[in-house]
Amino acid sequence: MVSPATLPSWSQVKYIRPDRKLLAAPPRKPEWEEFFVRPAQDCINLPKIVRIVCRRCRSQKFDDHKPRWTRQITPRYILRRPGCGNCHQKNTNWRPEDPSVMFIDPSHLSRKRSCLKENPAFDPADVIQHPDWYFPGSSET
């Protein structure tokens, strides 16, 4: 119960009370994740750690302990972009050290998501059913 003294005295003044839960909410995930990221239970047979290498200096390595994979039939590793200690570049490009690991840059997924959003016929459930129809072709990576 809110005591009347805490409300604006003029009833037409709009007010809002902060919601503790909303204020404490962690930052939102990128919108594409729910469509394109393979759920954890479907990643059991996939590598648990993916080592990636900076494409620029080719010496800096980074172990991704929480690799994200696409929902595709042949899952692709979704690249991370950690800072490179050698290059000191913000948007360093990386690739998996193991050349057999197929990968995709998250910017492709984000772009794809934006295109789908503009399409009124787009049904999100369909991506989950037929992931390969929706993914950017391998030529785009």
Residues that bind Zn ion (CB under 5 A): 54, 56-57, 60, 84, 86-87
In whole angstroms, how close is the CB of 110 to Zn ion at the nearest point?
Answer: 23
Question: Residue 94 or 103: which CB sits closer to Zn ion?
Answer: 94
User: Which of 88, 89, 82, 35 lies closest to 62 in space, CA to CA?
Assistant: 82
In whole angstroms, how close is the CB of 49 to Zn ion at the nearest point?
Answer: 20
Q: What is the CA radius of gyration of the chain?
A: 21
Residue 80 burial (10 A CB sphere; 0-12, 13-18, 19+): middle
Question: Residue 84 or 127: which CB sits closer to Zn ion?
Answer: 84
Question: Residue 30 or 85: which CB sits closer to Zn ion?
Answer: 85
In whole angstroms, how close is the CB of 112 to Zn ion at the nearest point?
Answer: 27
* CA-CA-CA-CA dihedral for 16, 20, 24, 27, to nearest 10: -30
* Strand-strand pairing, 68-69 and 77-78: antiparallel
In whole angstroms, how close is the CB of 105 to Zn ion at the nearest point?
Answer: 16
- Report whether 68 contacts 46 (CB < 8 A): no
Question: Residue 37 or 52: which CB sits closer to Zn ion?
Answer: 52
